[in-house]
Structure 1
Amino acid sequence: MPGEAQKGPIGSHGIESRSEGLGEWLREFLKQELTPYPGRGAVVARIVISATLTMILIVTFRIPGGVVGALSAFVLSRENLVATARSAAFMMLAFVIGALFIPVGARLLASPPETHFLWVACSLFIVFFMLRCLVQYGVATAFALVVANVIGIWYLPGPAERNVELTLWLVDATLIGVLVTVGVEVIYYALRKGDDLIDGLDIRLKLIEDLVACYATGKDISVTTKNGLAQYGFVGVGTLRRHVSRGNYSAEFRARMSALVSLVGRSVDFAAALASSYQRLPEQDEQRLLRLQRTIAEMRSCIKTKGSPCDSGLEPSPTAGTPLLSEIESMVSLMPTLFSKDTTPDPSLSLIEDAPDTNRIFIPDAFTNPEHLRYVLGGTLAAMLCYVLYVALDWPGLSTSVTTCVLTALTTIGSSRQKQILRVAGFLLGGVVAGMGAQIFVLPYIDSITGFALLFASATGVAAWLATSSSRLSYAGVQFAFAFYIVHLSEFTIQTSLSVARDRVLGVFLGITMMWLVFERLFPSSAADEMVRIFVINLRQLAELVSSTPRADDPASIVKVRRLRQEIYRRFGEVNAQMDAVPFETGAIREGDMAARDRIRRWQASLRSFYVIELPLLQFRVFGDLESQGRTFAKLENEVRAGCARIFNAVADDLQEQVTTRHHEPEIPVEVLEHLEAAQRGQDIKFTEREQALMRLTRTISQIVDRLQHEVSTEGLYETYASDAPSPASIVPKSA
C-alpha cells in the first residue's frame, strides 16, 4: 500500500499525482503529520497533565482498571468546555450502564459454560448494534469499552463477588479519569480566551491571503507561507469539522460553518498547489488578485464576528493559464454568500432548522436498513471467533483481541484496514518499543513515584503528539497510549514480566486477523465505492429537498423537510469519513479511487454551500406571504428548482453507473443559469426587494449546480491525471 501512495499534499492540479517509493513516502508523510501547528502544544500538554494526574491517583489508591481511566484523557472531546462536559457526562453514563448490564447478565447466564457462551455472544451483538445505531456515538464507544474489558474479567467466572468488585473498580477508575480531565479543561478555558474553530479558519485564510498578496505585489512567496499551506493542505480540516459538530452552536450556524470549513479546506488545497507550482503570476492578473485579497480579508473579519452578514461582489474570472487561481476564486466567492444578508434566515422562520428528534436514541433507519445488520453480525462473528480461540487455548492474555475487534470494526475495507494498521503500529511502538523497552532499560533504575511519573508523562506526550495528527495517523497515538498503559498500569508494582506485553500484542494480531477474515473475505466493501454510494444518496435527497414544497399549515410536511435536511447533513460527515479511508486501500484500481476521492471532495464542498444557500428560498416558499409573491418570480423559481432536481438525479445516475462500469461518456450539459437568464431577457420584470435578494440566491445556486454538472459531465469520476496535463476541473464553465 505505501509503495503505491502518492505525494502529498497535492499535485499541480489539485490532485495527488506522483508515485514514489516507500521510504520517500513515509519520510514525507511523517514530516507533515508530526510538524507543530498552532494549538497542538496546548492540547498535548492538557492530555499529558490529565493522564499523569489520573495515573498518580490510581496508583496511590491502588485502584484496578487504571488503563481505561488514564485513557479517558485521550477520548474525551476538547472542542470547547461545553462539548467536554457533555462528552464526560455521556461517558460516565455509559460506564454506569455497562457496570449494571454486565453483572446482571453474568449473574443470570455466566455460570454454566453453555449459557456463558450465549451471554458473551449477546453482549457483543448489543455492543456492535450500539456502535452502529446509537445516536450518541460517545455513549456507544464507552459502553463498548466496558463490555470488551469486563468480558475478560468474567472469563470462565470464578467467585462472583470478586468479579463484581473488579467491574466496579473499573468504573471507578474511569470516573476518576473523566473528572480529572474535565477539571483540567475547566482551568484551561478559564485562563484562555478564544475559539479554536474561529482561530483555525482564520489562520488558514490568512495564509491564502498572504499568498495572494505576494502574487499581487510581485514579491517572493515566503517559506513560512508556502510551508504553512503545504502543512494545512496535508493535515486537512478534520479537527475543524469536529469543532463544528461538537460545538454549542445552533443548527443553522453549524450548517453554515460546516460549508465554510469545506470551502476553506479546498481553498487551502488549491493554494498549496499554486504556491508549489508558480513563483510568479502574470502581471495582467494584478487587479484580479487584489480583489481576491480584499474578499479574503473581509471574510476573515466576518468569521471573527462569528458570521455577521458579509457581502462581496467577487466574480470568478477563469483563465486557461491560471486554473488553480480560478479554483481558489470559485471557492472564495462562495464564502461570503454563506453569511450574506440575503442568506440570513428570518428568526421567526427558524422552524425548519429546529431539530425534531432531539430525544431520539437510535438513528432513523436503525431497524430497517439491512446494512446495519450486516455490520453487527460481521463484528460479532469476528469477536466471537477471537473469544472461542483464546478460551479453547486457555490463554486469557489474548482477551485484547476482543477489544481490537470492537475498536476496529467499521463498515468498509478501507476504514477497517486503516484502523487495523494504525492499531498494529501503535501497539508495536507503545507496547513493544516503549512498554517492554522501559521494562528492560528504564524501570530497573526507578524506585519512586516521581521517576515513574516522568516516564509515564514522557510516553503520554509521544502518544498525545501522535493523537493530535490528522485522521491518517491520530488513531495510532491512542493505541500507543493504550498499549503502554496496559503494560504499566495493569498492576501496582513495577512490571518485570515481559509475558504481559507479549500476550497483549498477540491478542491484537489475533483480533486484526479475524477482522480481516470477516470484513474483507466474507463481507467485502470498498471504501471508495461506499464514498460514492453515500454521495449519490445525498444527491438524490438534495433533489427531493429542492423539489419539495411544504406548507406552513401542514406540520407533517415541515417535519419531513427537517428530517431530510438532517439526513443530508449527516451524510456529508459519512462521505468525509470514507474519504479518509480511501488512501489505505490497495489494488490496481487504487489510483482511480484516489482521483475519485479528490473529485468528491471538491463537489461536496459545493453541495454544502448549496445546502446552506437554499434554506432562505425554502423558507420563503413555506412561510412567505403568498399574496406578495409575484407570479413571475414564483414561475422562475419553480423552473430553477425543477432544473436543479433533474441535474442532481442525472448526476447521481451517472456516478452510480460509473461505479459499476468504471467508464464515462462525456455529455453536453444544459445550464440552469442560462435558462434563467434567457427567461428574464427582454422582459420588463419588477421584483420586490425581498424577491430581488432571493433572485440573487437563485442565481448563485444555479451557478453551483451548473459547475457540478459541467465537471461530472466532462470528466470521468475515476479518470486519472497526467502530472503535466491540465485538470478537467480547471476548465470552468461560463456560468461558474
Structure 2
Amino acid sequence: MAQPAADQPRRAVAEFGALLAPFPGRAALTTRIAVASTLTVLIAAMYGTPEAAISAYVIFFINRADRTSSIVLSLAMLVLVSLIVGLVIVLADFTLDNPVLRVACMAALSAGLLFLTSASKLRPVGAIVAMIVGFGLDELGLVPAGELATRGLLYAWLMVAIPIGANVVVNLLLGPSPRRLAGERLAHCLRVAARSLRDPAAQGTALAMALRDGVQPLPGWLRLARLEGSVNAADVLALRQAMTSTMAILMAVDVAWRQPEARLPAACAAILADTLDAMARMLAAGGYPVDIALALPEAAALPPLQQAVAKALREAIEHYAEPEAPAAPGAAHSAPASKPGGFMDRDAFTNRSHVHYALKTTGAAMFCYLLYQQLNWPGIHTCFITCYLVALGTVAESVEKLALRLAGCLVGAAAGTAAIVYVVPALDSVTGLLALVLVGTWLSAWVASGSPRIAYAGFQVAFAFYLCVIQGPGPGFDLTIARDRVIGIIIGNLVVYLVFTRIWPVSIAGRIDAALAALASQWQQLIDAHQPAARRQHAASAMALQRDIAQDLSLARYEPASVGPAPAWLARQWQRLRLLDAVAGPLFLLAERFPGDPAIAARLRAVRTGEAPSAGAERDAAAGPGDATRATLLALVDQHLSETRPAAAHAPSSHAQT
C-alpha cells in the first residue's frame, strides 16, 4: 500500500537522518581526515605551495579505517607519483616548446594510467595520479623556461607529497591498529546479536547491517595486524575462528528474527544475550573469550526450529575462539580457496570496458582542458580536475552520482561562499583559516565516510568548499575565484555525465549477472564444505555479495531504457535476491547440521531457478536422517519457495523501483 502523502516527507527525513547516524569507527575516521587535511593546509601555507585545495582533498582518497593500510597506501602513492613525475621531467625536454606534443603526451599518459585504474590494483589512487600528471604537463605550458618548468613539476609532486606526509603522521598518532578494529567490530556484532535476542522486533536494520558488513573487513585487518606485529600467530588463529563463530551467531539470530516460531523463550534468550554481552566486553578490551560454558534451561524440550537456533548459538559460543583442528588428508579444505593474486585483473586485456573507461575519461578531461584554454578562462580549470575525480564505470552509477555530485557541489559552494562573506573577513591569521578548514572538512568527511548513497556528496562538498576557501597561503576574499572554480566543477560533472551516458555506455546489468553467478557459487561451496570455518566464511562472502547486488539493482533504475535492462528482468532478479535472503538462514543451519545433504543442494537449485524441487529431491529428503529439525528447516525453505513462485511468475515492473 502506498504511504499517505503527508507521511512521505517524514519518511524521507527519517531515512536521511539514518544515513547521517553514527556507526562504529565513523567519528574516528572523520576526525583523522579533518586533522590530516588541516595539517596539509598548514604546511602548504608555510611553504607557499600552489593548489593547496587539491592537496587537502587528496587526504580523502588515501585514508582507510586502520592506520596500517592508510600508511601503506600513502607511501605506495608517493612512490608511484615520484616515478610518474620523473617520467614527465624526461618528457619535458621534448614537449616544453611543442604544445601539440605536450597535449598528446598528456592524453597518452592519462589513458594509460586510467586503464590501470580500471584493470589493476592501482584502482584506489590511479585517477588521482592521472590528474597529477595532467597538472604537471599543464604547468609546462605556463612557463617560458626549463628551470621554471622543473619547479612547476616539483610543485606538482609536492601537491601529493605534502598530504601523504601529513596523513602518515596523523595515522601514526591517531590511527587505530587493525587488531583493535577487529576486536571492536566483533564486539559490535555480538552486541547487535544480544539486543536482537532480547528484542527481535527492534533490531532488524542493525542485524541486517551486521550480517552484510560485520565481519567482511576482518580477514584484511588480521593480515595487516600480523604484518605490523601487533598480534602473534596464535592470536590470529583465535580471532579468525572468532570471526567465523560470529558469522554463525548472526545467521542463527537472523533466523530467530525472521521466524517468530524460531524465537527462543525469554529465559533462554536472556542467558545467551548476557553471555554475548560479556564476550563483547572482552573483545572491546583487547582480548577474546575462551572456555565458555552455557547452561540453557529446557533446551531439549524446545520445538525443532528453536532447537536448531539454540544448538547453533551454543556451539558457536562455546567454541568461539577455539581454532579448528587441521583437516585430514584428502578432506575438504578448511577455508575457501583464495583468489589468484597479481597486480592486473584477470580480464585486464580481454575486457574492452577497461579501455573504454580510459578513453572516455581522458576524452572528457582533454575536452575540458582545451575548452578553458580556448576560452582563455583559467579560473575554470577545475573542470579538467573534476573529470578524473568523478568518472565512473557504468551508466547507472554516472546518473545516480551526478545528482549527488551536483548537490554536494552546490552545498559546498554555498558554504564556501558564505564563509568568504561572513567568516573570512574576521580572520586575521592563518590560524583562523585552519579552524575554518577543520570544521568544514569534519562535516564533509562525516558525510563522505557514510553509506554509498551519500558518500559522493560528501566528497563533492569538500572539493567545492576547499576551492572556495583555500585561495592561497592565507585567508582569501575573492568571490570571483570561488565563482569560477564552482563553474568549472559543474562543467566537469556535466561533461563526464554526457560522455559516459552517450559513448560506449556500460549497463550495470552485466555486473549484476556476474555477481549473481558468484553468489550461487558461494552458496554451493557453503553447502559442500565439511569444515565449519569454510562454511561460515562462504556465508560471510555470500551476505556481502547480496548487499552489493541489492545496491546495483537499486542503481539500475537510473539507466535509460536504451541502455538498461528491461523491467521484467529487474523484477526477476529482485525476486531471486529476496528469496535467497529469506532462505539464507535456514539453508545455513541445514548446512551446519547436515553438510553435503543432497536435499539442501536441491533447494538451492530451486532458489536459483525459481522451480520446485525435483521428485528426486523429495525422495532424498524422505530417505535422509530421521531428524525432526532437518525436516522442519527443509519445510521452511519449501514454504518460502511456494510463497514466492507465484509472485515470480507475475512480478510487476514496479519491483524495479524498489
TM-score range, shorter chain: 0.7 to 0.9
After the TM superposition, which residues 139-154 of structure 1 pair with which residues of structure 2 at under 5 Å, given as runs? Answer: 139-150=125-136, 152-154=138-140
Contact 2:29 2:65 in 1 (8 A): no
Map of 1:640 onto structure 2: 598
Map of 1:552 onto structure 2: none
The change in CA–CA distance for 1:462 and 1:375 in structure 2 (over 3 A counts) is: same
The change in CA–CA distance for 1:125 and 1:445 in structure 2 (over 3 A counts) is: same
Deviation of the 1:372 alpha carbon: 2.7
After the TM superposition, which residues 126-275 of structure 1 pair with which residues of structure 2 at under 5 Å, given as runs? Answer: 126-150=112-136, 152-154=138-140, 158-188=144-174, 195-214=180-199, 226=202, 241-242=216-217, 245=220, 248=223, 257=243, 264=250
Which of 528, 545, 551 is equivalent to 1:580? Answer: 551
Map of 2:373 onto structure 1: 391
Deviation of the 1:62 alpha carbon: 1.6
Q: 2-side partners of 1:178 and 1:648: how far apart? A: 48
Map of 2:63 onto structure 1: 77
Which of 80, 91, 104 is equivalent to 1:94? Answer: 80
After the TM superposition, which residues 38-53 of structure 1 pair with which residues of structure 2 at under 5 Å, given as runs? Answer: 38-53=24-39
Contact 2:42 2:434 in 1 (8 A): yes
Map of 2:108 onto structure 1: 122
Contact 1:127 1:147 in 2 (8 A): no
After the TM superposition, which residues 289-328 of structure 1 pair with which residues of structure 2 at under 5 Å, given as runs? Answer: 290-291=267-268, 294-295=271-272, 304=283
Contact 2:57 2:462 in 1 (8 A): yes
Map of 1:346 onto structure 2: 326
Map of 1:466 onto structure 2: 447
Map of 1:729 onto structure 2: none
Contact 1:64 1:173 in 2 (8 A): yes
Q: 1-side partners of 2:251 and 2:335: how far apart? A: 28
Contact 1:672 1:706 in 2 (8 A): no
The change in CA–CA distance for 1:370 and 1:463 in structure 2 (over 3 A counts) is: same
After the TM superposition, which residues 467-506 of structure 1 pair with which residues of structure 2 at under 5 Å, given as runs? Answer: 467-506=448-487
Deviation of the 1:42 alpha carbon: 3.0
Secondary structure (helix, strand or coil) at the match of 2:151 reads helix
Q: 1-side partners of 2:376 and 2:367: how far apart? A: 14
> Residue type matched to 2:391 in 1?
A
Deviation of the 1:533 alpha carbon: 0.8
Greater Cα shift, 462-471 or 335-344: 335-344
> Residue type matched to 1:248 in 2?
R
Map of 2:611 onto structure 1: 667
Which of 22, 27, 44 is equivalent to 1:58? Answer: 44
Give the % identical residues: 21
Contact 2:62 2:73 in 1 (8 A): yes
Map of 1:537 onto structure 2: 517
Deviation of the 1:133 alpha carbon: 1.0
Greater Cα shift, 298-307 or 165-174: 298-307
After the TM superposition, which residues 469-618 of structure 1 pair with which residues of structure 2 at under 5 Å, given as runs? Answer: 469-527=450-508, 529-530=509-510, 532-539=512-519, 541-542=521-522, 576-577=547-548, 579-583=550-554, 585-586=557-558, 596=573, 600=577, 603=580
Deviation of the 1:417 alpha carbon: 2.7
How many residue pairs get matched?
620
Q: 2-side partners of 1:149 and 1:574: how far apart? A: 38
Deviation of the 1:165 alpha carbon: 1.9
Deviation of the 1:366 alpha carbon: 0.8
Deviation of the 1:367 alpha carbon: 0.8
Deviation of the 1:31 alpha carbon: 1.6
After the TM superposition, which residues 644-723 of structure 1 pair with which residues of structure 2 at under 5 Å, given as runs? Answer: 644=601, 654=609, 667-670=611-614, 676-680=620-624, 715-716=647-648, 719=651
1:263-322 Cα offsets, whole Å, 9 max, x none, are 859978996x99xxxxxx8xx987445545555555666773669799999999799xxx
> Residue type matched to 1:135 in 2?
K
Contact 1:124 1:383 in 2 (8 A): no
Q: 2-side partners of 1:474 and 1:485: how far apart? A: 17
The change in CA–CA distance for 1:681 and 1:21 in structure 2 (over 3 A counts) is: closer
Q: 2-side partners of 1:309 and 1:260: how far apart? A: 16
Q: 2-side partners of 1:400 and 1:290: how far apart? A: 63
The change in CA–CA distance for 1:583 and 1:426 in structure 2 (over 3 A counts) is: same
> Residue type matched to 1:600 in 2?
L
> Residue type matched to 1:580 in 2?
Q
> Residue type matched to 1:461 in 2?
W
Contact 1:379 1:409 in 2 (8 A): yes
For the aligned residues, what is the CA RMSD?
5.5
Map of 1:559 onto structure 2: none
1:563-588 Cα offsets, whole Å, 9 max, x none, are xx999999986764454355454489
The change in CA–CA distance for 1:571 and 1:454 in structure 2 (over 3 A counts) is: same
Contact 1:386 1:401 in 2 (8 A): yes
Map of 1:405 onto structure 2: 387
Q: 2-side partners of 1:352 and 1:438: how far apart? A: 54
Secondary structure (helix, strand or coil) at the match of 1:64 reads coil
2:430 aligned with 1:455: no
Deviation of the 1:433 alpha carbon: 1.4
The change in CA–CA distance for 1:169 and 1:543 in structure 2 (over 3 A counts) is: same
> Residue type matched to 1:382 in 2?
A
Deviation of the 1:209 alpha carbon: 2.6
Contact 1:673 1:706 in 2 (8 A): no
Deviation of the 1:701 alpha carbon: 12
> Residue type matched to 1:33 in 2?
L
Secondary structure (helix, strand or coil) at the match of 1:473 reads helix
Contact 2:255 2:262 in 1 (8 A): no
> Residue type matched to 1:402 in 2?
F
Map of 2:233 onto structure 1: none
Which of 355, 375, 379 is equivalent to 1:373? Answer: 355
> Residue type matched to 2:551 in 1?
D
* Unmatched 5+ stretches in structure 1: 1-10, 216-220, 275-280, 320-324, 550-561, 618-632, 655-665, 683-695, 724-736
Contact 1:94 1:142 in 2 (8 A): no
> Residue type matched to 2:36 in 1?
S
Contact 2:85 2:153 in 1 (8 A): yes
The change in CA–CA distance for 1:710 and 1:388 in structure 2 (over 3 A counts) is: farther
Q: 2-side partners of 1:571 and 1:208: how far apart? A: 19
Greater Cα shift, 89-98 or 447-456: 89-98
Deviation of the 1:462 alpha carbon: 1.4
Map of 1:3 onto structure 2: none
Deviation of the 1:470 alpha carbon: 2.0
Contact 2:429 2:475 in 1 (8 A): no
1:612-658 Cα offsets, whole Å, 9 max, x none, are 999x99xxxxxxxxxxxxxxx9xx95x839x83x7767765x4xxxx
Deviation of the 1:145 alpha carbon: 4.1
Q: 1-side partners of 2:252 and 2:493: how far apart? A: 34
> Residue type matched to 1:470 in 2?
S
Greater Cα shift, 394-403 or 57-66: 394-403
The change in CA–CA distance for 1:50 and 1:286 in structure 2 (over 3 A counts) is: closer
Contact 2:252 2:589 in 1 (8 A): no
The change in CA–CA distance for 1:69 and 1:307 in structure 2 (over 3 A counts) is: farther
> Residue type matched to 1:640 in 2?
P
Q: 2-side partners of 1:647 and 1:599: how far apart? A: 13
2:12 aligned with 1:36: no
Q: 2-side partners of 1:537 and 1:96: how far apart? A: 41
Contact 1:201 1:261 in 2 (8 A): no
